[in-house]
A = this chain, B = another copy of it.
Amino acid sequence: MKKIKVGVLGATGMVGQRFVQLLEQHPWFEVTEVAASERSAGRSYAEALEGRWKQPVPVPERVAGMTVKECKPGLDCELVFGALDSNVAGPIEEDFAKAGYAVSSNSKNHRMDPDVPLLIPEINPGHIALIDAQRKRRGGKGFIVTNPNCTLTGPTLAMKALDDAFGIEKAMIVSMQAISGAGYPGVASWDIIDNVIPFISGEEEKVETEPLKILGKLKNGGVEFAPIKISAACNRVAVRDGHTCCVSVQLRKKAGIEEAIGAMQQFRGEPQALKLPSAPAQPIVVRMEQDRPQPLLDREEGKGMSAVVGRVRKCSVFDLKFTVLSHNTIRGAAGCAILNAELLKAKKYI
């Protein structure tokens, strides 16, 4: 099979690097373009990184030598992955869509646009039908799909399994988030060693609203948001990778602990059915030890694409509570955007 040419927008940043790393040796996609700010354009990718490659393996040699382009249409590829700062991502992604590119974005800018799918492919693969509306609006084959904020990915996967089985009415989510979520250089060591920072700008709003669109239903060519109330408190802790969330949920239909565990363990989605290359065998892994999940031990589960749930137990205020972990730069960012693109390819949108 001839691989699909892809570009990475914002390729020198923390999430951009993850795209480059995860796409190396991808069976369907091949990075043919790396694009970044004007300052980087014209230099080789290796040079443009300026010593700031922060991934667990070296820069793929093939990409290291590529010339970085500006983030403007004209790139030699069919699909672009978006890892741009939200200060600039909005109009750039729109330009690419208008120019006929498929855009799979990690940026927040278009997530809540009515005709843009906000996708976790195990949860709402059907939302890709919104692409048709986009195409109509823009008048070409280009489109934008987005993946959600990194923090809510784990909780929303778990909530989906429970919502399908029992219905969810309310949820409280308290996060303990890794430093990689703030990019690089991101969180100063002076601020986080021996500390917790109980605030992450804009994060709680996303955690409270994005899941409602993801868990919503297609209706009249748009998404009807799920009738769930979510309250979130987001914290930064001294962990490298992996966001841990304590979640309490009020269900519409009572459920025992065992049933809830069963619902999560058995949960599978379209990516599993289609055997997409980046799909984990199990979207939700439930650990029975009393002290799991732990970011250090569980973040690489399913190559960083599984949500790991533990401590499923009765909540004395709501019905159930549990802890859920997901890898914030893989499942919560680059990995999810790649899985989105794989779904689109399987569904012939690319």
A residues near B (Cβ < 8 Å) are 51, 54, 170-172, 174, 176, 179-180, 184-199, 208, 229-231, 233, 235, 237-240, 244, 246, 248, 289-297, 310-311, 315-318, 321, 323
Q: What residues of chain B lie closer than 8 Å to A199, measured between beta carbons?
A: 290-291, 311
Q: Which of B180, B189, B311 contacts A198 (CB 8 A)?
A: B311
Query: Are A172 and B248 touching (Cβ within 8 A)?
Result: yes
Q: Smallest CB–CB gap between A12 and chain B, Å?
A: 15
- Assuming A233-B174, A235-B244, is B196 touching A193 (CB within 8 A)? no
How many copies make up the complex?
A: 4
* A191 CA / B180 CA spacing, docked (Å): 11
Query: Are B174 and A174 touching (Cβ within 8 A)?
Result: yes
Between A and B, 5 residue pairs with Cβ closer than 8 Å are: A171-B317, A189-B238, A194-B296, A199-B290, A208-B316
Q: What residues of chain B lie closer than 8 Å to A294, measured between beta carbons?
A: 195-198
Q: Which of B188, B195, B231 contacts A248 (CB 8 A)?
A: B231
Query: Are B197 and A194 touching (Cβ within 8 A)?
Result: no
* A199 CA / B192 CA spacing, docked (Å): 22
Query: Are A229 and B316 touching (Cβ within 8 A)?
Result: yes
Query: Are A198 and B230 touching (Cβ within 8 A)?
Result: no
Query: Are A176 and B291 touching (Cβ within 8 A)?
Result: no
List 18 extra interface pairs beyond A179-B189, A185-B190, A229-B316, CB under 8 A.
A51-B289, A171-B317, A176-B235, A186-B189, A187-B188, A187-B189, A189-B191, A193-B238, A195-B239, A196-B237, A198-B246, A230-B317, A231-B248, A233-B248, A233-B311, A233-B323, A235-B244, A238-B239
- Assuming A195-B296, A295-B194, A296-B195, is B317 touching A172 (CB within 8 A)? yes
Q: Select from chain B the residue with minimum beta-carbon distance to A322.
A: B233
* A290 CA / B317 CA spacing, docked (Å): 28
Q: What residues of chain B lie closer than 8 Å to A239, measured between beta carbons?
A: 194-196, 238
Most-contacted residue by chain B among A185, A198, A315 (CB, 10 A): A198
Query: Are B246 and A235 touching (Cβ within 8 A)?
Result: yes
* A188 CA / B198 CA spacing, docked (Å): 19
